[in-house]
Chains A and B, each alone.
Chain A
Amino acid sequence: AQKVTQAQTEISVVEKEDVTLDCVYETRDTTYYLFWYKQPPSGELVFLIRRNSFDEQNEISGRYSWNFQKSTSSFNFTITASQVVDSAVYFCALIDSSYKLIFGSGTRLLVRP
């Protein structure tokens, strides 16, 4: 069965530090999709990125970057030069042939001024 593990429950950094959020996934499928969502203190779920299993190229979007490695079943998310507004719970998620979006337990990121 599919599974997503975010081992870091909570991370605290000082503003301007770089921070990496880890995500490890399990699936028996060769075709699958990985996602990251952000849940700020206001509570909504904001989509950040979707990657398919055939595209292992790293992606950068401003201060955000993602490292997808099939060899280790990981899809890690790095925030460069973190800001207080980055404080949120971040969820990694997986969808495969089950068509069910499976979420990890989330990592709470606190960026202190």
Chain B
Amino acid sequence: DTAVSQTPKYLVTQMGNDKSIKCEQNLGHDTMYWYKQDSKKFLKIMFSYNNKELIINETVPNRFSPKSPDKAHLNLHINSLELGDSAVYFCASSPGLAGGASTDTQYFGPGTRLTVL
């Protein structure tokens, strides 16, 4: 009965590799998000999708590309990984309105700890 799930939970990889993190929510929400939490615990939004459409795109290197195959899934692909990409990445979802941005409560997945060596 997991609400927001992410895979994998841990990801260790070498600099320069390409990796993906998957996110799924079974809450029936229309809006999904990706956040990055750095080593000092600071949380910052990266992207927001509503019903497969990009709503928010923060100043994130274009090596990061979100993909939403349907409104229940939002995956994060990262190309040419760098040391500074090491962080915990959280997926979240909120009800929202179809076609628009949302101020509703966001429910977070368990996080994916990415370590780039």
Q: Which residues from A are CB-within-8-Å of B111?
A: 43-45
User: A99 at the A/B interface (Cβ < 8 Å)?
Assistant: yes
User: A77 at the A/B interface (Cβ < 8 Å)?
Assistant: no
Stretch at the interface among A13-21, A62-70, A79-87, A101-109: A101-109
CB atoms of A105 and B102 under 8 A apart: no
Chain B interfacial residues counted at CB < 8 A:
25
CB atoms of A43 and B88 under 8 A apart: yes
- Which of under 10, 10 to 19, 20 to 34, or 35 or more describes the interface residues of A? 20 to 34
Q: How many A-B residue pairs lie within 8 Å, measured between CB atoms?
A: 48
- The complex places the Cα of A43 from the Cα of B21 at a distance, in Å, of 17
- The complex places the Cα of A96 from the Cα of B102 at a distance, in Å, of 10
List B residues 60-117 near A (Cβ within 8 Å). 88, 90, 92, 101-103, 105-111, 113
Q: Which residues from A are CB-within-8-Å of B56?
A: 99-100
- The complex places the Cα of A96 from the Cα of B55 at a distance, in Å, of 15
User: B43 at the A/B interface (Cβ < 8 Å)?
Assistant: yes
Q: Which residues from A are CB-within-8-Å of B44?
A: 103
Q: Which residues from A are CB-within-8-Å of B92?
A: 45
| B contact set with A: CB distance below 8 Å | 33, 40-45, 48, 55-56, 58, 88, 90, 92, 101-103, 105-111, 113
